[in-house]
Amino acid sequence: MRPIYYDTETTGVRPGKDRVIELAAFDPVLNKTFCSLVNPQCPIPDESTKICHINDDMVKDAPLFGDLADQFITFCEGETVLIAHNNDSFDQLFLIDEFQRIGRKLPPWRFIDSLKWARKYRNDLPRHNLQFLREVYQIEANQAHRALDDVVVLHQIFSRMIDDLPFNTVIDLLNGPFEITRMPFGKHQGKNLADVPKDYVEWLDSSGALDKKDNAPLREGFVKLGILREKK
């Protein structure tokens, strides 16, 4: 199975509403890269430009996603697995949405979320964002939040995290039991779950944040600690 590391930059954080404005990928086996700005056919909010440094002028003459889809599919052809940091809650959802917009289904690629791997197997760390992991693994700084730069850094980080594990094994391990011991997000990120204030946990619960599929292990952790009751 050949890994393809990929990343998207977008107009916002809401799949289904926001649009992809840059798509990049790196194939370390064939030593090939794919990178293109994407015309989202809508204005890019200032807050997004501040993060990714992509503005309306940069994408006005860029191809539409539909014009890039076949090129990206060709780049990822074969027995491949696509790897992104926060894949399951972000990048893959944006890919699915962009393919739907052009009337096509996402190809039957396999995916790995490197953020989930970091949270599961590096729960000794207080944070798991890409730039923090870059510092932990002493990887040279890059132009953060530009897609191709993030992809190359992700390859270096994830290669070290999984060592020589086959990707099929990585997928199986990610699908296995998942225990969270530290708060993965929010203002108490990095704290041991037992040290997160009860009123904050109850607020998360009442807001519905802990009902999301990705946060099921977090809810389970609070239940085990007696901070929350198990839902019937």
**Catalytic positions, please?**
145
Q: Note the residue count of the chain.
A: 232
Q: What is the per-residue burial (b if ≥16 Cβ within 10 Å, else e) of 153-167?
A: bbbbbbeebbeeeeb
* CA distances, 83 to each of 45, 66, 116, 177, 204 (Å): 27, 22, 11, 20, 29
**What are the backbone dihedrals phi and psi of residue 24, each rounded to the nearest 5 degrees, phi first?**
-140, 150
Task: With beta carbons less than 8 A apart as the criterion, state whether 20 and 38 touch.
Answer: yes
Q: Which of 124, 121, 127, 217 is nearest to 170 (CA)?
A: 121
